[in-house]
Structure 1
Amino acid sequence: MTHLIVVSDYDPNWPERFQDLRRRLAPHVADLAVSIEHVGSTAVPGCAAKPIIDLDIVVSDEALMPALISRLAGQGYRHEGDLGIPGRQAFQAPPTAPVHHLYGVVADSKPHLDHVLLRDYLRQRRDEVRRYSALKVALAKQFPADHEGRAAYSAAKSRLVEDLVAKSYAARAASES
């Protein structure tokens, strides 16, 4: 039997899981981080998601990234590089930690803004949350939960994600004018 990608209905415990992870990380990066943000679909009430918390540790300057990488390595995180997204550093959680995705980003960089603007846009647009959730649920039924399946799942939802990110930037520009 092939295991498919798991996409769950929104879980009201996800914010609490984020806060737990944030409490674990904060003492080790507090002097480097501007903030630790809950990003991704689990940060959007009502949004279906893979039940994995995404976090951004936001630093003020790229020059702080080596220190962040070193600090996280000291806590058992494995640095994975940018995984094809310049300006975003990815980390694999230690095997003893709750499952999560952790990224290091520079404040107001494109990867940081992509994450927070999309999150904030979706929090205000229930119609877009329903559309995005429906696509993820449908795609999860099509792809196996192996490396190739996860890559195909991500690629299949990328057009909608790009559209939503563009709308989030447009909404920000409109609110600033």
Structure 2
Amino acid sequence: MIIAEKTKVVEVVPYDPEWKVAFNRIKEHLFSCVGNLIIEIEHVGSTSIEGLAAKPIIDLDLVMDSYEILPQIIERLQQHGYEHQGNLGIEGREAFQRRHADEFMKYHLYVCPKDGKGYLEHIAFRDYLRSNVTARQAYAEVKQRLAEQYRYDIDAYCEGKTAFVTSILSKAMK
């Protein structure tokens, strides 16, 4: 069983406009690999929200029409040096990891169906925080506090964010 590489030190840094540039570079590369098999590539996660402090890791969702196309996507990504890791316990989101270093900043790659819960939540959460300054600032404070408290425990850091994320999703998914 393949397990995603775990973050060893939790570091939340101020928003960096270069994250958009990095995302676009990775997106261009991925489109060259699987562009004809997918609908879109979305920048999700904290680095996609202007002004939000984040761990400097780009999260990307490759959006597919349905799971029927997934075997072709897996095969194509494997040809380009990516290893399929399964859903890592999150339904509706397939994770991939690069088998060797590349020229891009660190990133997490997911393949999601267009109507999948994981994808819809990623977009709803991102868009809510993009449009709500108060919620964005509150989330930044939660992340900074947890990063200091759980600097060497990524699982506790992620668990600590759950209540906040759930509260935002309950508003954003209406």
> Structure 1-normalised TM-score?
0.90
Per-residue deviation, 1:4: 4.0
Does 2:150 align with 1:150? no
Could you tell me which residue of structure 2 aligns to residue 173 of structure 1? none
User: CA–CA distance in 1 between the matches of 2:157 and 2:98?
Assistant: 22
* CA-to-aligned-CA distance 1:124-154 (integer Å, 9 cap, x gap): 0010000001000110011133xxx111110
Q: Secondary structure at the match of 2:136?
A: helix
Per-residue deviation, 1:72: 1.1
User: CA–CA distance in 1 between the matches of 2:100 and 2:138?
Assistant: 34
* CA-to-aligned-CA distance 1:51-70 (integer Å, 9 cap, x gap): 00000000001101111111
AA matched with 1:73 = Q
Residues 11 and 151 of structure 2 are in contact (CA less than 8 Å); yes or no, is this contact kept in structure 1?
A: no
Q: 1:90 aligns with which of 95, 99, 106?
A: 95
Could you tell me which residue of structure 2 aligns to residue 78 of structure 1? 83
AA matched with 1:155 = E
Per-residue deviation, 1:13: 0.8
Change (3 A) 1:96 1:4: closer
User: CA–CA distance in 1 between the matches of 2:9 and 2:101?
Assistant: 24
After TM superposition, the structure 1 = structure 2 runs for residues 1-177 of structure 1, keeping only pairs within 5 Å, are: 4-97=9-102, 98=104, 99-145=106-152, 149-170=153-174
Equivalenced residue count is 165
* CA-to-aligned-CA distance 1:65-87 (integer Å, 9 cap, x gap): 11111111111111111011111
User: CA–CA distance in 2 between the matches of 1:81 and 1:133?
Assistant: 30
Percent identity over paired residues: 39
Q: Which runs of 5+ in 1 are unaligned?
A: 171-177
Q: Secondary structure at the match of 1:31?
A: helix
> Structure 2-normalised TM-score?
0.91
User: CA–CA distance in 2 between the matches of 1:72 and 1:144?
Assistant: 33
- Structure 1 consecutive aligned stretches of length 4 or more whose deviation exceeds 4 Å: none
User: CA–CA distance in 1 between the matches of 2:168 and 2:46?
Assistant: 12
Q: Secondary structure at the match of 2:112?
A: strand
